[in-house]
Amino acid sequence: MNELITNLARKAGIDGITARKGLGALLSTIQKSVPPDVFSRLCKEIPDAGGTLSSFQNAVKPSSDGGGLLDLAGGLLGKDAGALGTLISKFSQAGFSVEGAKSFIPIALSVLKDEVSPDLVQHIDAALPGVSTLLSGEQTGQTNPIRKLL
């Protein structure tokens, strides 16, 4: 297992296999949200990104949108629902609970952003607008809408 996955597993308090699935889910979401050339550059900067993504894609079963969870997310989150809904779906496919994804995603984003160049961090932030804030509850003066999903 590569050092990135080991570090991610340690920080998230999970095993390496689960961390790799979670990273694959995150990469799959980012892939759908950025131009192909940006994702290609991202994969070059992340150790074994291609293998992690392929492993995730080969292991998951196609799923529905989470049984209405995405509709609820859309109603609560507006423009941020697309990215959050995709993340919820991908993490569900990877075997994460909503609570598990909620705790893992900010850690994974932080570890991932430490691995890539600043311009790619900007692309990740643009691809997942407000997701870290929504998941961590750092919204100023507002109740965290993700809590309503739980």
Inform me whether the pLDDT recorded for 150 exceeds 60: no
∠ CA 101-103-105, rounded to 5°: 60
Cα distance between residue 124 and residue 11, in whole Å: 20
User: To the nearest whole percent, how much of the chain has pLDDT over 90?
Assistant: 43
Q: Under CATH, to which class is 3-149 assigned? A: mainly alpha
* Residues in CB range of 134: below 8 A, 6 or more apart: 77, 80, 84, 144, 145, 146
Q: What is the mean pLDDT of residues 24-36?
A: 92
pTM for the whole thing? 0.77
pLDDT band at residue 33 under the 50/70/90 scheme: confident
- Residues 81-134 have pLDDT tens digits of 566 677 778 888 888 887 888 889 889 999 988 999 999 999 988 888 767 555
What are the residue ranges spanned by the domains of the chain? 3-149
- Residues 121-139 have pLDDT tens digits of 999 888 887 675 555 554 4
What per-residue confidence (pLDDT) applies to 134? 56
- Residues 47-56 have pLDDT tens digits of 999 999 999 9
